[in-house]
Amino acid sequence: MADHSLVLPDRQAKPRTRGLTMVIDNGMPAGLFEDVLDSYHEYVDLVKFGWGTSVVTRSIKRKTAALNEREVPFLLGGTLFEKHVQQGRFNEFRALCHNLGCRYVEVSNGTIDLEPAAKAELIGVLAGEFEVLAEVGFKDQPRSELLSPSQWIENINSDLLAGAKYVVLESRESGSSGICRPDGELRYGLVEDILRSGVDVNRLLFEAPTKSIQTYFVKRVGPEVNLGNIAALDVLALETLRLGLRADTLLDPMETGDENIP
């Protein structure tokens, strides 16, 4: 960070446990990927290889080597986990993650029919070997709309109890499902119910692929909110939102952590 005399919000130093920025790699070229890490790695806490891109990425070893060199942990997309479970290849998924050197895994049931109890059991198995991010919410919007706030909260608590380190709240990389409506608008009532439920907000990671969603969570929760599905080239812009260096958050109080949650 450049020298300055400004008073800015405190940001926990890496390795952070709050204020996480999880970047999604949607298959960018390896050279650009390395350039992004060179420029922004101090602001990147996790990289997720989106959906099943890791299977068809010829340069996956080059990318994971670049991440290891810069001490940025990574994980594979939840959709790839679901594909393995659908085909009865859960142990092969575990082996794949170990072989790639993943410290984190994502467990989701956003597309396949995987009951919460069965999901919790798989979380428990993986939690003995990895740090688990468990995703709640469906990718299919009509199906997601039928999941009541109480069910969201029940599933969040179930995943945490099963051993998940963080629970990811689904919005897709397009911001059009889960905690969002098809037009990209947040389901504000649902979000408020979750925030007021007593769940530790520092254990939640909100998928926030657009500036409007990122701005909302920085203003509502604070600069140290955990955000995911961040496009690689938006990392610096998000950091300015966190620090009040962009018009959208310039006038907001510099509160952190869960102090901003009633």
Name the stretches of the chain with pLDDT < 70. Answer: 254-262
Model pLDDT, residue 255: 59
Strand 46-49 vs strand 74-76: parallel, antiparallel, or unpaired?
parallel
The domain spans of the chain are: 21-249
Model pLDDT, residue 254: 65
Model pLDDT, residue 262: 64
What fold, for 21-249? TIM Barrel (3.20.20)
Report pLDDT digits (tens) over 159-216: 999 999 999 999 988 878 899 998 989 999 999 999 999 999 999 999 999 999 999 9
CA–CA gap between residue 39 and residue 141 (Å, rounded): 36
Model pLDDT, residue 175: 78
